[in-house]
Structure 1
Amino acid sequence: MHDNKDWEQQAADALKSVARRMDIKAYVEQSPLLYELLKKAALHVTGDSRKDGLEAGQRLTAKGYDIGENTVNTEECETATLELTALIDDLGGQGTSARVSFDLSHIGLLPEPELAYMNLVKLTERALGTELELFISMEESAKTEQILEVYKRAASRYPNIGITLQAHLYRTPDDLAALSASPGRIRIVKGAYQESAEVAISRSESLNERYLQLVRQALGDGHRVSVATHDERIIEEAIQRGLLTEHGAKLEMLYGIRPELGSRLKSAGYPVQIYLTYGHEWYLYLCHRIAEYPPNLYRAVANMAESRRVDPVEAYV
């Protein structure tokens, strides 16, 4: 007999596997009707272009939200670096206070970590003198060591770079402790990638407690911390423990996911940053967003039934 948590865990694991199935992704992309139908469900993606992301960001900023921007998921390292450079220039030209987030794999980690480091330095120097902060996302656990090494090298020279850590990895408390001398903001996420039981904790109350402990540890080390989750249980517990009133603590939520929760928290006086994505590579994000919070599936189905694409910005107050 399975309870709801068992089914949710199985569904989450299945979606994480589907996210990495290139044959399924290719089938979706080559089926115009299916592509457009599923794209309507991907409300966490602002649109296909940088212009779409910037426009959504401006509208949310006008409503009092802080903004984080994510790049398109391109395969070519130089193309991705040029796209990031253009995004930094656009945001810097607006005088916008924002974060620009990306995977190091986008800018060269897999061909050569040194290429990722050099491109990261170029981008960081491009952002100097603006209100922008660069933010490195975390990827599969096999890349964690390389990502942290590139980050620590760059963070030792530049203060405007932050790093993401995944609570579900057993190694993360030690990784966080090793960053005590790094000045950048720490983003804590549960972890969206499917990992083996040898390296990661499954979705559970133990993982929720680990998450909260990491937030406390990071704040205690003097870091500015982004509490990046849509899990209301974690958010409520963080509030009860006083973590969100600590200096440098900020909630971070993904654009289009649980806007009613973000609006309620912002109205209660908690700082909320909305993380925006744009580009054609929405398939992976859609699978992961439903996997991290299975009730998102209901919203996705409702969005597919709409005659037109829903405008998520309208849901934020």
Structure 2
Amino acid sequence: MNNRTAHEQRLTAGAAAALKAIARRPDIKMHIEQEPQLYTLLQRAAARYVTGEQRPQALAVAHQLHDEGYAVSLEYIGENTVSAAACQQATAELAGVLTELGEQGIGGRVSFDLSHIGLLVDRELALAHLLQLGELAHTYGIELFISMEESAKTEAILQLYRQAVAVYPLIGITLQAHLHRTWADAAVLLTKDTRVRFVKGAYEEPDTLALSRSAELDDRYVTLFELAVQRGCRISLATHDETLIDRLRLSSWQGAASVELELLYGIRPELCVRLREQGYPVRVYLTYGQEWYLYLCHRIAEYPPNLYQALIDMVGGQAEAPMMQYCLSK
């Protein structure tokens, strides 16, 4: 590795860490929200990755993608909610999404963070909201997927998941490959027909708790996938890493009871289209809501060169994600 390459890698890693830190700064977020011109500029950049601030915008995109042959997953963005009233509002909004998806015949999946519906307020409140959503999901035959958050919340998230899935089997769980504990969690949680989404892991964690992005992490991801196949799970592979996808396709894929690729809206649309054209089941993960700032920061942090695209979108007045134009033209 030459000095320039090493320097560029250090800059990229540093930029990603800085963006994740900025995303967690409430003072910066508040400043952006109080500056209309700055808010509008960043909102243009976010439009590449977020369907809009309101439910009808997300449902319109879901309809279009569903008609084109994609499965969809919807998330009402939000986490770390600290008042019971706000948790109830988030639960009501998610219930509305489930109801409209069911009544409009789109089906699909609804994803969310447990800290959005009560985890940080009261675990019993979070469980009550989770069971309420689970009942509605069961009524309409829609999957309800629990996202994963920082490692400090992992144990509580898995405990609530185990309680809820025992009642409503359509509830799925997300596992982060980078956490050292995930192999032990998977060995216990994964049984026949378990609904599991594997991600590499987006949160900054110390080396004592997690792996950094590396070949070792990719190996662990593949090993977790192979375990899930052996256990007869229903698997979502949430990654845009094409090299990793190729490895997975050469692994135990053909022996899987159910496996799909789940790609984020606005990220690698050309890959999304190509995989579907090759016959692989593809699910597009759609987000909406007013809490798009944190989501935007994470999308850029995952691939810092996306910052250049964000600048182009802000200056160019990007109004909607080109992913729709791309996918629907193929």
Q: Distance in 1 between matches of 2:317 and 2:153?
A: 41
- 1:9 deviation in Å? 2.1
- 1:254 deviation in Å? 0.7
For 1:314, which of 297, 302, 325 is the aligned residue? 325
Match of 1:213 in 2: 223
Structure 1 residue runs of 5 or longer lacking an equivalent are none
| TM-score in terms of structure 2 length | 0.91
Match of 1:229 in 2: 239
Match of 2:250 in 1: 240
* Residue range with higher mean Cα deviation, 185-194 or 9-18: 9-18
- 1:73 deviation in Å? 1.6
Letter in 1 for 2:53: D
Q: Distance in 1 between matches of 2:115 and 2:33?
A: 22
- 1:297 deviation in Å? 2.6
Q: Does 1:177 align with 2:171?
A: no
Partner of 2:73, secondary structure, is strand
Structure 2 residue runs of 5 or longer lacking an equivalent are none
For 1:96, which of 64, 83, 106 is the aligned residue? 106
Match of 1:7 in 2: 11
Letter in 2 for 1:92: G
Q: Does 1:137 align with 2:147?
A: yes
Match of 1:53 in 2: 58
Superposed CA RMSD: 1.7
Q: For the structure 1 residues 192 and 33, does the alpha-carbon distance in structure 2 shift closer, same or farther, using more than 3 Å as the test?
A: same
Q: Distance in 2 between matches of 1:61 and 1:96?
A: 7
Identity %: 49
- 1:97 deviation in Å? 2.0
Q: Distance in 1 between matches of 2:133 and 2:276?
A: 31
* Residue range with higher mean Cα deviation, 54-63 or 232-241: 232-241
* Contact 1:155-1:184 within 8 A present in 2 as well: no
- 1:291 deviation in Å? 1.7
* Contact 2:226-2:252 within 8 A present in 1 as well: no
Letter in 2 for 1:217: L
- 1:182 deviation in Å? 7.0
Mapping 1:1-317, distance limit 5 Å: 1=3, 2-42=6-46, 43-73=48-78, 75=81, 76-181=86-191, 183-243=193-253, 246-311=256-321, 312-316=323-327, 317=330
| TM-score in terms of structure 1 length | 0.95
Partner of 2:291, secondary structure, is coil
Partner of 2:307, secondary structure, is helix
Render the CA deviation track for 1:37-92: whole Å, top value 9, x for unaligned: 11111121100101111001001111111000001327311001111111111111
- 1:245 deviation in Å? 7.1
* Residue range with higher mean Cα deviation, 300-309 or 212-221: 300-309
Render the CA deviation track for 1:231-274: whole Å, top value 9, x for unaligned: 22211221232537733110001111111110111111111100
- 1:299 deviation in Å? 2.7
* Contact 2:191-2:233 within 8 A present in 1 as well: no
* Contact 1:188-1:227 within 8 A present in 2 as well: yes
Q: Distance in 1 between matches of 2:255 and 2:316?
A: 39
* Residue range with higher mean Cα deviation, 66-75 or 134-143: 66-75
- 1:212 deviation in Å? 1.5
- 1:184 deviation in Å? 3.2
